[in-house]
Amino acid sequence: MFPQLSDKLQEIFKELRGHGTISESNIDAALRHVRLALLEADVDFQVAKKFIARVKEKALGETVLRSIMPGQQIVKIFHDELSALLGGDAAPLNLERPGRILIVGLNGSGKTTSSAKLALFLKKQGHAPALIACDLQRPAAIEQLATLGNQIDVPVYTPDPNEKKPQRAAAAAVGRARPPGAPDIDIFDTAGRQEIDEPLIQELKELKEFLQPQETLLVVDAATGQQAVSVATHFNDALEISGIILTKLDGDARGGAALSMREVTRRPIKFAGTGEKLDQFEVFVPERLAGRILGMGDVVGLVEKAAEAVDEEEAARLERKLRTASFDFNDFLAQFKMMRRMGPLENILGMLPGMSNVQGLSVDEKQLKRTEAIVLSMTSEERTRPDILNARRRQRIARGSGSTVTEVNDLLRRFAQMRKMMKSTGKMKKMMAQMARMKT
């Protein structure tokens, strides 16, 4: 997330921490570089200017300049101010009855997908959401919403094919019969345009006035940079949005939109889309994002991802297998799938403190897929008993997985080394336990 900005800021602060004492000239020089880094990342000029002024005012304080570790103090100030710039604390949704969430934005920003992601998020929180199709401009949007709703097992209300008025479509959805246990939150996916125009704004105003939603969330593509801030300002002026969903934060976006939007609109970023999959959607926590930008990691976020992705019983079973050195390729595959559920591994590594400072840190996703394909090309018996994998079997696995025999051999060699290490660890634990019993 924001790799270029993150790399530049970490480089600036590394140099600053290298000084035993800090002077006003050191701080001025560092902040000049910071300002340039922010502008290159597409941060709004006025936002960057005010931000640097706030940091400078605190950094020139007597407590900092006379501190034993002034460089660290300035990084702490920068982290706190960056968190404040992004919105301070996470902003929760208002889910009072009647639960209505209006999703707005331009075409291509990811409105329909974000609606489904939000529905899945709320479902995991114990709510019963429903998706309401109010984008009558694009028939494909209604079909897409229905498909996504089916994937996450969330009901989707689609309008009459001849309906042309979004307000009437919304009224029909709101007035539908609700049996016991019916959805308690309706998410309304609305029409967009390639750019903001008066007919779109008028349509959304009328829809909002009719629905009186608890939340009006603007979906903005982080990759659009400065334009995203302009879009957010226009929508906020017209509709008084309650929050923002920022999409495509997993891409090569320079990050300026996220850093500018809260300051310009005074509306919180509530959620972030971090990938194409429907579960790659998370609450936007400014403090954590600030930590990740500055290379401090996000251990809390990592733990939350692990808790969501890892099945406790399966984890306990794998731990027993590891302890007894009876780990086989079936277990390897199960562990592999658990890790994949946490999201792209490069993102996961980036959440570990200090990992972003490691040069050349990257994960070859294609290689990981090849490894998985090799294991999936084995029979159940071969996964359980890797020792039976002779030359003929290895050739068959290579053909079935689209890899080479050398790649298959490399995987088997690494797996054998891992099992050998587990066996040695198991023997060491047994020996330590025997010694402890002898002492008693």
Between these two residues, 184 and 115, which has the higher pLDDT value? Answer: 115
pLDDT value of position 424: 60
Domains and CATH numbers, the chain: 3-86 (1.20.120.140), 99-304 (3.40.50.300), 311-439 (1.10.260.30)
Res. 29: pLDDT tops 60: yes
The separation between the first and the last C-alpha atoms of the chain, rounded to the nearest angstrom, is 54
Res. 397: pLDDT tops 80: yes
pLDDT value of position 359: 43
Res. 298: pLDDT tops 50: no
Q: Model confidence over 40-83: pLDDT tens digits?
A: 887 888 888 998 898 888 877 756 556 556 667 777 788 888 88
Tell which phi-psi region holds residue 180, choosing left (phi > 0), alpha (psi between -120 and 50) or beta.
beta
- Most confident region among 168-172, 197-201, 306-310 by mean pLDDT: 168-172
Residue 108's φ and ψ, nearest 5 degrees, are 85, -5
Question: Which DSSP string do the residues of 370-408 spell out, in sequence order?
Answer: HHHHHHHTS-HHHHH-GGG--HHHHHHHHHHHT--HHHH
pLDDT value of position 342: 60
Question: Which DSSP string do the residues of 293-350 spell out, in sequence order?
Answer: HTT---HHHHHHHHHHH--HHHHHHHHHHHHTT---HHHHHHHHHHHHHT--HHHHHH
Between these two residues, 310 and 172, which has the higher pLDDT value? Answer: 172
Q: Model confidence over 86-101: pLDDT tens digits?
A: 887 778 888 887 789 9
Least confident of 57-66, 222-231, 347-356, 380-389: 347-356
Q: Is the dihedral of CA 53, 272, 212, 235 positive or negative?
A: positive
Find, among 385, 380, 383, 376, the residue nearest to 403 by Cα: 376
What share of the chain in percent tops pLDDT 70?
74
Res. 258: pLDDT tops 50: yes
pLDDT value of position 296: 54
pLDDT value of position 431: 47
pLDDT value of position 63: 62
**What CA–CA distance (Å, rounded) separates 263 from 26?**
27
- Burial status of residue 383 (CB atoms within 10 A of its CB: 0-12, 13-18, 19 or more): middle
Extract the tokens encoding 435.
Answer: 């010694």
Q: Model confidence over 103-133: pLDDT tens digits?
A: 998 888 889 999 999 999 999 988 999 999 9
The beta strand positions in 95-146, using DSSP E, are: 99-104, 129-134
Res. 411: pLDDT tops 50: yes
Q: Model confidence over 363-373: pLDDT tens digits?
A: 566 777 888 89
Q: Model confidence over 300-345: pLDDT tens digits?
A: 444 445 445 455 565 566 566 655 556 788 877 777 776 666 665 5
Q: What is the mean pLDDT of the chain?
A: 78
pTM, full prediction? 0.66
Strand partners, 243: 217
The three-state secondary structure class of 227 is: helix
